[in-house]
Amino acid sequence: MDTFVSFCSYHHASETKSLLEMLQGVQASMG
Protein backbone atom coordinates (compact mmCIF):
# COMPACT_ATOMS: atom_id res chain seq x y z
CA MET A 1 0.00 0.00 0.00
CA ASP A 2 2.82 2.37 0.86
CA THR A 3 4.38 1.75 -2.55
CA PHE A 4 1.06 2.49 -4.23
CA VAL A 5 0.67 5.72 -2.28
CA SER A 6 4.24 6.76 -3.03
CA PHE A 7 3.70 6.06 -6.73
CA CYS A 8 0.51 8.12 -6.84
CA SER A 9 2.02 10.88 -4.73
CA TYR A 10 4.93 11.15 -7.14
CA HIS A 11 2.63 11.64 -10.12
CA HIS A 12 -0.46 13.26 -8.61
CA ALA A 13 0.26 14.65 -5.16
CA SER A 14 -2.91 16.73 -4.87
CA GLU A 15 -5.16 13.98 -6.24
CA THR A 16 -3.62 11.41 -3.93
CA LYS A 17 -4.05 13.73 -0.96
CA SER A 18 -7.74 14.08 -1.74
CA LEU A 19 -8.13 10.32 -2.14
CA LEU A 20 -6.38 9.62 1.14
CA GLU A 21 -8.58 12.14 2.94
CA MET A 22 -11.67 10.52 1.43
CA LEU A 23 -10.48 7.04 2.48
CA GLN A 24 -9.79 8.26 6.01
CA GLY A 25 -13.31 9.70 6.15
CA VAL A 26 -14.78 6.38 5.02
CA GLN A 27 -12.75 4.46 7.59
CA ALA A 28 -13.87 6.89 10.31
CA SER A 29 -17.53 6.49 9.36
CA MET A 30 -17.13 2.71 9.45
CA GLY A 31 -15.71 2.92 12.97
Q: What pTM was computed for the model?
A: 0.46
pLDDT digits (tens, 9 = 90+) for 1-31: 677 667 656 666 677 788 889 999 989 998 7
Residue 11: the pLDDT is 62
Residue 30: the pLDDT is 87
Residue 12: the pLDDT is 63
Q: Kindly report the CA angle at 17 between 27 and 28, in degrees rounded to 5?
A: 15
